[in-house]
Amino acid sequence: MAATPIRILHALGSMNPGGVETWLLNILKFVDRDRFKFDICTFGPEPGLYANQVERLGGTMVPCPRTQNPWSFPSRFLRILRQGKYDVVHSHVTLFSGVVLRWASAESVPIRIAHSHTSKDDKANTVGRKYYRSLMKSWIDHYATHGLAASRVAAAELFGGNWQRDARFRVLYYGIDRRPFEDPIVREQVRQEFGIPPGASVVGHVGRFVPAKNHRFLLEIGSEILKLRPNVHFLLVGDGPLRSDIETRAKAMGFAGNMHFLGVRTDIPRLMRGGMDLLIFPSFYEGFGLVLVEAQAAGLNCVVSDAVPDETVVLHHAVKFLPLSVGANRWAGEVVRMLDSSLSPGASGRKLPEGRFTIQESVRDLESVYRSAERCSAEQIVQSHV
């Protein structure tokens, strides 16, 4: 008789394309779905563009929007926990994980995971926010049976500077599905979609239009690049609250047809390999920066803020870190230098080392954590017979 699947509830904002969401979708593709049943509870106003793929892969979307009658949110989420009879609650909502895991503990969920995906709380440093941070971190420390983090700096942000002394906490790096980065592709077709002329160099950026991604500085860099190379084009992939402002600024700065805003896309490997020659990534901070791993897998050279964790670097010759403080001129010069040294993506022969940052590695790590739910169940059975 087949073993009963381990039931896991993931809690996050939405399943719109992003680093965390893409990683989680790939986990679902490769995990043993006979042994692990994924429900994904989204707290945002809509489930997200990946929701249909989750369902096709055997996962279940469980919307629980906080914006819809927030006073009823606790009772709605607790009802989900009771009805699901989960073995694991895996929370991806940073500080709010304190609340999620407290409720999971109240419903006797045996495995409660807080997962840190960022290196900074970007909310204003008010008295109220300081109290909230302190309370949530104390609840995470009290109620989490496990703590996972995208990088060392992300671990320190949520679990404290001494996180390595606590056996519950560890770093679990994101892995990527390498197959889309190895599929045949016709670069000319990709570029024709966006009206990019033959022979033009293309600088790409992938990320939500939020303050942390530093799009305003990206525009300044782009303006300096065009002074050096007027035929360079820019592909900006993503959406978010600042997109309209950045598009308006781009027009005012005279980018005209050189800058292409692509919105949310689910074909990042194709866009990187077919549409881009270099990735620029001037973030103020990152918990990890999965897009940098993807760019290296696509054969791109990368110019990156030194605020991005260096744990993301696999091919050291392909990544140049720069401080934001050196200014747009220095960034533009480095971009042009690396464009000149770039081979076409996919033709460079560069590959990520075997086993490093693969989705299979992530799956193995996660499955070992989830299987601790089986040990908890076995212990409970033994205790019930004592």
Answer yes or no: do 27 and 163 share one domain. yes
Answer yes or no: do 109 and 202 share one domain. no
We report the CATH number of the domain holding residue 374 as 3.40.50.2000
Answer yes or no: do 163 and 250 share one domain. no
> Are 241 and 211 a contacting pair, CB within 8 Å?
no
Tens of pLDDT along 184-236?
Answer: 889 999 999 999 998 899 999 999 999 999 999 999 999 999 999 999 999 99
Provide the token pair at 248.
């308006």
Answer yes or no: do 171 and 193 share one domain. no
**pLDDT cut 90: percent of the chain above it:** 84
From the CB of residue 228, how many other CB atoms can be counted at a distance below 10 Å?
13
User: Domain residues for 50?
Assistant: 6-175+358-384
Banded model confidence at residue 343, pLDDT cuts 50, 70, 90: low
Answer yes or no: do 155 and 62 share one domain. yes
pLDDT higher than threshold 50 for residue 348: no
Judge whether 349 lies within some domain: no
Banded model confidence at residue 14, pLDDT cuts 50, 70, 90: very high
Answer yes or no: do 319 and 208 share one domain. yes
Tens of pLDDT along 368-382?
Answer: 999 987 766 545 433
Judge whether 350 lies within some domain: no
Number of domains in the chain: 2
Tens of pLDDT along 15-55?
Answer: 998 889 999 999 999 999 999 999 999 999 999 999 999 99
Answer yes or no: do 201 and 171 share one domain. no
Buried b (16+ CB within 10 A) or exposed e, 151-161: bebbbbbbbbe
Answer yes or no: do 258 and 228 share one domain. yes
Measured CA to CA, the distance from residue 134 to residue 164 in angstroms comes to 19
Answer yes or no: do 331 and 369 share one domain. no
Judge whether 1 lies within some domain: no
Answer yes or no: do 189 and 159 share one domain. no
Residue 55: what are its φ and ψ, rounded to 5°?
-65, -40
Measured CA to CA, the distance from residue 5 to residue 9 in angstroms comes to 13
Q: What is the pTM for the complete model shown? A: 0.89
Judge whether 353 lies within some domain: no
